[in-house]
Amino acid sequence: MTIHTILLPYDSGHRDARMGRGPLHLRERGAIDRLRAAGHDVIESLVEAPDAFPTEIGTSFALYRVLAEDVRATVTGGAFPLTLAGNCGSALGTVSGVRAATPNDRSDVGVIWLDAHADFNTPETTATGFLDGTALAALAGHCWHTLTASIPGFRPVSDAHVVLVGARDLDAGEETALARSQIARVEAARMQSDGAQAALDDALTTLARRHISRVYLHIDLDVHEPTDAQANQYAVPGGLSPSTVRDLVSVVADRFEISAAALTAYDPAYDADGRMLNVAMELMGRVASVSSRVKREI
C-alpha cells in the first residue's frame, strides 16, 4: 500500500514555528526517505494555510478543512494517510477525511489517542486559551460546533469509541469532564508495568464489542517519557517508553484496521541530541509496516 505522508507544519496557526517545525524537520532529516529505503511506496504533500495573516483559531480550522480534503482523496485513491502535524487538532481533519472517503459507511471510527495530556478542555474550561488543549473534546463533539461543522466529512466521534492512553497532566476541568464521559483511559504506569497487549486488552475488547472495526491512531509524541526522548516543552515525567509505543501500534493493528494515523507535537528545539527524531522515525516505520498489511476496500 502507498503511504501518503501529509505535512502540516503549523503550531497555533503559525507556520514552521515551535511544534510546527517538527514535520519539516522530520522530512529534512530523512524520515520520508527512510520509509522509502525500507521498501515502502511513499508520496508526500504539504498543507498550506490559505490566508497570509495567521490567527490561531481561524487559521487552524482552515488548515483542518484542507487536510480533510487531502485525506479524503488519499483514502479514496487506496493509499494510507500518515499526518505529520504540529498540533493535535489535525485529528479533526484526518478523521473527517476518512469519513468523507466512505460516505456510505455509517459505522463510527474508533480513536486511539496517545498523549501526555487529555486535550479535553473546552473554551469554557480552559485556563490557558490554547486551542490544541480542546482537540479531543472538539473531535468528540463537545465544543467548536460551528467550526467543526465546516470541516468536510466531520461528525463527532462518540466518547464510548475513544481510548485515551498515557495522559497524566490534566486540568481539574478535564478530569471532571473525563469522569463524566465514556472515554476509556489506560494509564501510562499500567502500560509500562503490564505491557501494551495486557494493558490495552479490556479497552480494545470493549471497542470491538461496540462494532468498531477501524480506528484512527493519534500519537502526540509527548506521550513518551521525556528522559527517554523529549518531544516538546509540554512533556512531563511518567510517560511511555519508545518500545511500549511501538508495541501499542502493533497491538492495535492486530485488532483493528488502522484507517489513518498521525504523529504530532514534535518541537526540534527540545531534541538537541536527536533522540526523539529517531523515535519518531522508528514509529513512522512501524505504522507504515502495519498499514501495509491492510487492503482497504472503498
- pTM given for the model: 0.96
Helix (H) or strand (E) holding 263: strand 257-264
Query: Residue 180: what pLDDT?
Result: 96
3-state secondary structure 66-115: HHHHHHHHHHHCCCEEEEEECCCCHHHHHHHHHHHHCCCCCCCCEEEEEC
Q: Can you tell me the distance from the alpha carbon of 102 to that of 125, in angstroms, rounded to the nearest whole number?
A: 34
Q: Which domain holds residue 19?
A: 3-291
| Structure confidence at residue 296 (pLDDT) | 41
Inside any domain, residue 259: yes
pLDDT for position 292? 74
Q: Considering its fold, how many domains does the chain have in total?
A: 1
**298 is a domain residue:** no
Q: What is the DSSP letter of 157?
A: P
Bridging pattern class, strands 10-11 and 14-15: antiparallel
Q: Is residue 207 part of a domain?
A: yes
- Residue 296 resides in a domain: no
pLDDT value, residue 245:
98
Distance in angstroms (rounded) separating the CA atoms of residues 173 and 118: 11
Distance between CA atoms of residues 150 and 176, nearest Å: 28
Per-block average pLDDT, block size 10, for the chain (298 residues)?
96 97 98 96 96 90 98 97 98 97 84 98 93 97 98 96 97 94 98 98 97 96 98 98 98 97 98 97 97 56
What CATH number should be reported for the domain holding residue 217?
Answer: 3.40.800.10
Neighbours of 53 (CB within 10 A): 8
- Residue-by-residue DSSP string for 287-298: HHHHHTT-----
Give the pLDDT score at 196: 98
Structural contact between residues 235 and 222, judged by C-beta atoms closer than 8 angstroms:
yes
The pLDDT value recorded for residue 51 is 80
Q: Are residues 35 and 284 in contact, defined by beta-carbon separation less than 8 angstroms? A: yes
Determine, yes or no, domain membership for 287: yes
Q: What share of the chain is helix, strand, coil (3-state, %, to 5)?
A: 45, 15, 40
In a domain, 297, yes or no: no
Give the per-residue pLDDT at 297: 38
- Find out whether 123 and 143 touch, Cβ atoms under 8 Å: yes
Among candidate residues 113, 109, 119, the one with its CA nearest the CA of residue 240:
113
Among 42, 4, 9, CA closest to 25: 9
- Please report the pLDDT score of residue 210 as a whole number: 95
Tell me whether residue 27 is exposed, middle or buried, using C-beta atoms within 10 angstroms of its C-beta: 0 to 12, 13 to 18, 19 or more: middle
Residue 63 belongs to some domain of the structure: yes
User: What interhelical angle do 275-291 and 242-255 show, nearest 10?
Assistant: 10
